[in-house]
Amino acid sequence: MARFTKEGGHKVPGINTGSMSDIVFMFLFFFMVITTMRESTLLVSIKSPQATQIQKLEKKSLVSYIYVGAPIRAQYGTESRIQLNDHFASIADIQEFVNQEREARDEVDRKMLTTSLKVDETVRMGLVNDIKQELRECGAFKINYSTRKKVSKASL
Amino acid sequence: MARQTAEINSGSMSDISFLLLTFFLLTSSIDTDNGILRKLPPPLEKDQTPPEINKRNIFTVMVNKYDQLLVNGRPSDVRTLKADAMEFLANPSNRVDYPEKKPVNIPELGTVSVSKGVISLKNDRGTSYEMYIQVQDQLTAAINELRDQLSKEKFGQAFSKLTDPKKAEAISTAIPVAISEAEPENIGGK
């Protein structure tokens, strides 16, 4: 029997870390695929209104955003402002913005371009109407009113 | 003497990939944008007159700057708006002051009576966006519920669960999103 006992006791083999990089790479690719860089830093505070009948926006690359709300920094005042890309804009800039967004897309995709209005719930409709009129003028007919999903009281 | 190629030390590779991983972890935002999709009408031509619509076919919803509702000339509330809009569009009891129906032959469905009703939405410049979305939401809910009813009756499935695009299109033709927004007017200022 003595010939089966090993000498020097058990030695724990070191963990093979070679496959760790594979796992990490897998994660890496996963996050690379799902990632979308934040479109722009927000200069206006936006609390979207709630709604129940919401749809998901399908293709993120075919969406351009218009932000409307009160500026976060008090030095820009408290009146609702429009933000296009990374800076404040006025109603008159919207047509140019839409044209720029169109230029950036393929010819095929241009018709599918959706404009998502991210508007704070306290904004008055006058401003939103003006934006919609501008969008109509330049032929950006597909719009999306960005909303949050309403948490119904019954489900709580 | 054969030269031995040195083995590449792969230990630091995981460090690099971890670094990239944390970068993408931080920059990624999975939140998908949700919202109510709408299609804007093309701009009016200069000398274009709006089409004549029989008065019984119009369901007017007006919102003033205090976020109060006027539905078909009577003060109303958002909570009853969905039921009102559904009754108007479906017109189950064939009331004379509610919209006419027109039989239309739609593939997949056969002949269905399509309501001629149009919801006309008008809001003041001072209406809050929150109220506007609530009204839009309720009206969309009314249309979606009617679509669900029809879809369940014909195909035994809710409208949102229909997988066949032909069937979904047939339902959307039978019950269109008939929400028309009035040309904005400036009453009562900001």
Please indicate whether, in this complex, the C-beta atoms of A126 and B125 are within 8 angstroms of each other: yes
- Dihedral sign computed on CA atoms, order A73, A79, A83, A89: negative
List A residues 36-95 in contact with B (Cβ-Cβ < 8 A): 36-38, 49-57, 60, 63
Please indicate whether, in this complex, the C-beta atoms of A114 and B37 are within 8 angstroms of each other: yes
Strands A50-51 and B74-76 come out as unpaired
Residue A35 within any structural domain of the chain: no
How crowded is residue B50: how many other Cβ atoms within 10 Å of its Cβ? 9
Residue A13 within any structural domain of the chain: no
Please indicate whether, in this complex, the C-beta atoms of B137 and A52 are within 8 angstroms of each other: yes
Chain A CB contacts of B32 below 8 Å: 56-57, 60
Chain B CB contacts of A38 below 8 Å: 27, 29
DSSP codes, B17-51: HHHHHHHHHHH---PPPEEEEEEPPPPPPTTPPPP
The pTM is what? Answer: 0.77
Percent of chain B at pLDDT above 90? 7
Q: Which residue has the tokens 């739609």?
A: B106
Please indicate whether, in this complex, the C-beta atoms of A63 and B129 are within 8 angstroms of each other: no
Choose the weakest-confidence range: A57-66, A92-101, A139-148: A57-66
Domain tally, chain A:
1
pLDDT at A156 over 70: no
Percent of chain A at pLDDT above 90? 13
Chain B CB contacts of A58 below 8 Å: none
Mean pLDDT over B116-136 rounds to 89
Percent of chain A at pLDDT above 70? 88
Residue A99 within any structural domain of the chain: yes
Task: Label residue B15 by pLDDT band (50, 70, 90).
Answer: confident
Can you give the CATH number for the domain in which A54 is found? Answer: 3.30.420.270
* CA of residue B183 relative to chain centroid, distance: 19
Rounded CA-CA distance B89/B102 in Å is: 12
Please indicate whether, in this complex, the C-beta atoms of B33 and A57 are within 8 angstroms of each other: yes
Beta carbon pairs, A and B, within 8 Å: 154
pLDDT at A1 over 70: no
pLDDT at B129 over 70: yes
Considering the segment(s) B55-144 as one domain, its CATH architecture is 2-Layer Sandwich (3.30)
Domain boundaries, chain B: 55-144
pLDDT tens by residue, B166-188: 888 888 888 888 888 877 666 55
Domain of residue A54, residue span: 44-148
Chain B CB contacts of A60 below 8 Å: 32-33
